[in-house]
Each structure stands twice: as C-alpha cells, then as structure tokens.
Amino acid sequence: MENLIGSDDDNAEYEGDGESEEGNQEYEEDDESQESDPNFEEYDESENSDPEYEEDERQIEDEDHMDDIMDVDNNIQDVDVDMGDFTLNVESDVEGSCINVVHGNEPEDMEVINNEEFESLDEGSDQDRERRALIKNLRKEKREQCRGVVPVTNKGQVGSQATTSKRKGKELKTQKVTCGWYIHASRSNPESDWFIRTLNQTHTCLQTRKLRACTASLISKKIFDQVEANPDIPLRAIQDHFQKTYQVGVSMDKVFRAKDKARKHITGDYTKQYELLRDYVLELQATNPDTTVKIDVCSKPNPDSPTRQFRRIYVCLGPLKKGFKACLRDLLGFDGAFMKGPFPGQVLSAVGLDSNNGIYPLAYGIVESENTESWKWFLDNLGDDLDLGRNSNFTFISDRQKGLHTAVEQIFPNAEHRYCIRHIHDNMRKRWRQTEYRDHLWRCASATTIPEFEHLMKEFSQYDKEACEWLKQIPPKHWARSHFSGRAVSDVLISNMCEVFNGKIEKGRDKPVIGCLEFIREYLMKRICNVMKEMKKAKGPLTPTATDILAARKTVASQYIARWNGGDKYQVTGALQDQHVVDVRNKTCTCRKWELIGIPCTHAIATLNEMSKDPEAELDIYKWVHKVYFLETWKKAYSFKVEPIKGRSMWPKSECPTKLIPPPHRTQVGRPKKKRRQSEGERLSKKQKASQGDGVNAAQEGGSQKPTNDGVQKLSRKHISVTCSKCKNKGHNSRTCKGQGGNQSKK
C-alpha cells in the first residue's frame, strides 16, 4: 500500500514499494464524419433519414481488418542490449479489403402479407389502414448506384450518355458509359434489418484511388497492429501498404495523423498517464520487493484541493539495490538527460561499475530540471537506499554541473567527488584548441604519484603558463589519479558509464511518463539476461576484463628485476629509471597502481617472479587480486533479477484521495530534437575525423588535391598543430619562431 506523506501540507511526497504496464486508455474517435464514396450515387425514396444503415456500414467496415579523450585502462566493457526486439517486423500480407459490401442478416420471422385476407376488407376499416401503413413501410427502400463512368469506345453504345465539357475555352462533346454496379435494399420498419432485393456486383468503370470515406480515424484502426509491433514504421510504408492492399491513395499528412492516433492509443496519452502513475508504482513495488519509489508534488496554496501537480519521481528497484551492494565497489556516476514531449524535464541516473568494468544502473528518476534542489532531493533518496550518512566516504564521478557539485558538498561533504576529465578538456578547448593541450592534461591526470604529477604540471607550465594556471584553479583531488584514494577500487577518469546508459534509454525519453519508466525497466531486465550469457563464456577465476589487464601486465613484468631485502619488501627496477618498492605484506607498491585498482602492477608481478625461486613462498597471484574482480562476485551481483509486471488492467488501484495532474506544459521552440546535444569538443573532433578521412581517401586514390572550384573539397588545416622547421617544436611555424632550439612557450 502507498503512504502519502504530508498530504495536508504544501508539499506531498509519495513513497512505497510497487509495479508497471500500460493502462486502459480511452481511444478518442476522430471528429471527421465518414462520408460516402463519391463514385456512388444515393437515392432515398423515404423522407426520413436512415442512421441504422450507416451504422451497419461502419460496423462491417470495422470488421475488415569519441576521439578527444580515451581512457584505455578503464574502457567500459558493456554488453549490447538490443531494444529493437520490442519492435517486431510487420508482415506484408495483411488481410482486408476496401470494398464495403452490405450483408443482410437473415430474419428469424419474416412478415408476409396475406392478400386473400385483405381482399374482403372495406377501405375505411382498421385492417385496411394497417395494410396501407405496412405497404408504406415496405416502400422505404434504398438504391445505391456506382457513379463511375467508362469512356465510350463505340459510338452509339447502349447505356451511353452524351456529356459536354469545356477545354481551353472550347466545348467538347463526349460520350460516357455509366457503371452497371448497383444495389437495392429495403426494410419493413426502422428497427428491422435491411434486406438486399437486387445486387449487381460487376463493375465496368475505371477504378479511382480517391476515397473521402478513408479518413485518418479509419486508417488508424487498420494500422493499429502494425504500429504496436513497430512504432518506428515509416510513413511511406503505411502509404504503400494502403495503396497495394486496399487500392486507396492517401496523403502523407493523413497517414501522419493516423499514425499519431494509433500511437497515442498504444502508448497512452501524455496527460492520462499521470493519473495512473500511483497504480503503476503499486504494481512495481508488489512484483519487485524492497523497491523504493517516491513521488514529489508541487506545493498547493489550498491543501484541500483534490489534485496534486506532479513534480518529481525517484525509482530504485530492489534487485538492483542488492546487486549493487554485491558488486563491492563504492563508486557511482551521476548524469542527466533531456526528456522529450509536451512535458519536458530531466532523467537523472546513478550508474556504477560491475566486476567486469561494465555499467550497473542503480537508480533513476524524472525531475523538472537539473538544478541544485532536484539533485539534493535525488541524493537524499539515494543515501537512504544505500545507508549513506553525511560522514560517508563514498566516491562519485560526474561532469562539472554546478547544481550537482553543490548538492554533493551539502549532502555528502566527506565523499570523494571526481570530475570527468573529458568535460574539463571541453572547457579548456574553448580557449586552447591544439592537441598538445589535451596531451598535457591527460598526462597530468593519469599520473599516479604526486612527484610525477608535479613534474608533469611543471612541463605544462613551461609550454603554456596561462593554461596551466587555469587548470590549477581546479583542485587536483577532483581530477588527478595521484590524489585519488583506493576506496573505490577504480581509477576511472571519465564518466563513460553515465554516457552509455543515456544512450541506451534515448528512445524511451520521448515517451509518456509511464512509458519512459517502463522502457528503462525493460532495458534493465533484459540487460541482466545478456550479462548472464557473457558469464557462461568466462573461464578463469577472474572476469574477462581483469584477466586481460593481468595478462598485459605479466608481459611487461618480464623486463623488470626485483631484489629482496630479507623482509617483506622488494626493490623493483626497470628501464628509464623506473624503480619502486613493493610491500608484500600490505599489498602495496609506491607506484600506487596496485592500490588504486586492486590488480597487481608490473612491479608486484616482477616481485612474484622473484619469489618463485623460494620453494616455500606462496605463488598464487590471484590472492593479490581484489575480490571485486572475481567471477563469483560478478555472478552474485547479477543473481538478483528484475521481475516482470502485469498488464495495466490488472494493476492495483491506489487509495490516495488526491489525483495527480501533469506538470506545467512547456511548448518547445522549433522542431523537436531527437539527438543529444554535442559539446564543442565533440563537434570539433568529428570535423577533424572528416578532414582526416578525406585525406586518407585522396591518398589511396593516388590523386592530388584539387581546388574547391573543381568539385573536390580541399582539406582544412584548422585546429591542426604545425611543426616549426627551425626549433622542431609544435604550435608555430618558422616565420613566427623567436629562437632556435629549446622549449618555446606558446603565446
């Protein structure tokens, strides 16, 4: 059952444990009236209109039916979840016909006139008046005739009619033959069925594809199954389907309106789904135990109002909550993505990393905008689910969003908050676009020790002091590995886990509120199944990613020499003055790579090779690997399954006395956008890729670059660093060089 907290106050918050699916939506009928076919002529001998005949016709008709920054060491190894199987293919053979034939139902008891009984009646008797009334009712007949015509091939043909038409100011006399198709039907009283008396089913006229009775409402009923199976079916496919199957031509505008009607009936109206949101929550919590769902509403000046305006919703599925704790990684990434539709907002998400460096979504929600207040509300709920207090030393990674940064500092002041290095580079690229700045930034961020970090920052300052001072304004504890702690068992620098998750749910962000939440839940449910398939392929005691990292370090460790000090420490020496100390007892190395990610570094593996000379030493390298990377830990995290839910008609009904209404409607300017907004760095990277691709193609063809006026695009040197021919430094040419040799600062 649900609990409505503070329903009498200005803010009401809904929390409980519940379920989902689509509810019964009322299908709005088209206001357009279905007019008769222009190829048919109607003769009504009675004075009264005949609504039942039109109703029978309608019933019969219904029955026919990233190159800029790459973190190679922390590449996100996520499984491919194909959400396309929720949109099945549509079969080309569709039963149905566009010809509406009137079928008369056989009456159980026909009224037959007995002429012998009426012959002896007087004209003024009551029986005579009844006889005249019955005959009058029988005369209520209808005759439909095809108005299609056939051009006359032989003059004087029987049934031809002479017609006069004007063409270019001249009168032309032609003869046309009327079509022989007609139907004659009658009935005894307005309540009885129609009976076909005469029917000629042979058409001799030319067929026409213009049919006013083929409205958008009729088309939406015919394509309902197709749109339900494939919501992305092209409009041109629907138009061709009607033309081939029903021999009817429809415009693209009418097809668009018909598809929109069918889509609204399937996915539900955007406004209607807010009323069913509490029922969805109850169903979600009933099928997935320990699920947390909270609904926040806008403040109302009148607490006695029967309605509450939706503001936010937070969802943390119980199975994902248990699985994240089993991952043994205190690391979460935060990000937001735009909603589409008449009620825009933001989809906030909290995504972690599993044992195989794949994404593990934990919680998600829909808020009005990405600001400090919404992030504080989201983090408060997340902290309650993970039992995180203000003194928690959890690790978070996000972009440099001001609202999120402030919210983390207020809710978790002792947490380790990392900044995505890609977003830092995007801000730097607005002023310094050369690739050398990117290389300096990445070397400084990836340094694992403080002395190495200070040395690289000094080199950056010699290259460009102004850019280095700009970077120093950002505390290194937020973006440099040398200042990270090893609590998260990960040295990730880029929030790729959030970008991957936002890309997977992109098609669900333009759906109504319940449809969006259901799309995310179904994606999470199927993703667990795909990861389990990958687990069956794994062989070793470690996950595939950890196995590859360890194998690569074993190869490099053969070039190092380890010397024992007689205790628990070893001195390991390599090329280029690479010398560090390995502490076997504490499982640490002065390079800090072992401490940061939990996998033995090359120095530790070299130490193990030296220890192999002692027959009494323990030589199991897997004991030096953190348990987060073991295959058993990976399997345990995905042993908690997201449960399916029932249909909307079987959802429990909420007993909350108030009714949820949608948030304020905001009309978006311009055409609705489907693609994600790209940063300036991403746009510049794509331009560089395009220019490099053109250069490779030209070189492969063996042809020289031609000017643009010859039809071949000339390669651009914009944003590409040049090398000075005098001092051999990048960033300037020989004409602007101020000296030869040495490091020259770029001004």
Euclidean distance between CA atoms 510 and 674, whole angstroms: 8
The pLDDT value given to residue 20: 37
pLDDT beyond 90 at 518? yes
Euclidean distance between CA atoms 156 and 178, whole angstroms: 14
Task: Output the six-digit token pair for 419.
Answer: 């900044």
Task: Output the six-digit token pair for 271.
Answer: 């406004």
Q: Among 15, 653, 3, which residue's Cα sits nearest to residue 280?
A: 653
pLDDT beyond 90 at 733? no
pLDDT beyond 70 at 113? no
Asked whether 455 and 577 are in contact (CB, 8 A), the reply is: no
Which of 109-113, 421-425, 431-435 shows the lowest mean pLDDT across its residues?
109-113
pLDDT beyond 90 at 676? no
How would DSSP label each residue in 227-284?
Answer: HHH-TT--HHHHHHHHHHHS-----HHHHHHHHHHHHHHHH--TTHHHHTHHHHHHHH
Task: Output the six-digit token pair for 384.
Answer: 């309650």
- Give the pLDDT band (50/70/90) at residue 703: very low
Q: Among 678, 441, 498, which residue's Cα sits nearest to residue 76?
A: 498
- Give the pLDDT band (50/70/90) at residue 321: very high
- Give the pLDDT band (50/70/90) at residue 166: low
By CB atoms closer than 10 A (0-12, 13-18, 19+), residue 251 is exposed
3-39, pLDDT tens digit by residue? 433 333 444 444 444 433 333 333 333 444 334 343 3
More confident residue, 210 or 468: 468
pLDDT beyond 50 at 697? no
CB count within 10 Å of CB 544 equals 19
The pLDDT value given to residue 208: 73
Euclidean distance between CA atoms 630 and 623, whole angstroms: 10
Euclidean distance between CA atoms 230 and 47, whole angstroms: 48
223-247, pLDDT tens digit by residue? 988 887 888 889 999 999 888 888 8
Q: What is the mean pLDDT of residues 128-156?
A: 66
The pLDDT value given to residue 687: 59
Which of 88-97, 347-356, 660-669 shows the lowest mean pLDDT across its residues?
88-97
pLDDT beyond 90 at 99? no
Q: Among 447, 435, 440, which residue's Cα sits nearest to residue 468?
A: 440
pLDDT beyond 70 at 181? yes
Q: Give just the sign of the alpha carbon dihedral 543, 544, 548, 549.
A: negative
Which of 150-154, 249-253, 360-364, 723-727 shows the lowest mean pLDDT across its residues?
150-154
534-581, pLDDT tens digit by residue? 999 998 899 999 999 999 999 999 999 999 998 999 999 998 889 999
Highest mean pLDDT (candidates 94-108, 224-238, 635-649): 635-649
By CB atoms closer than 10 A (0-12, 13-18, 19+), residue 581 is middle
Euclidean distance between CA atoms 396 and 393, whole angstroms: 10
For residue 16, the one-letter residue type is G
- As a whole-number percent, the residues of the chain with pLDDT over 90 amount to 48
Q: What is the mean pLDDT of residues 711-734?
A: 69
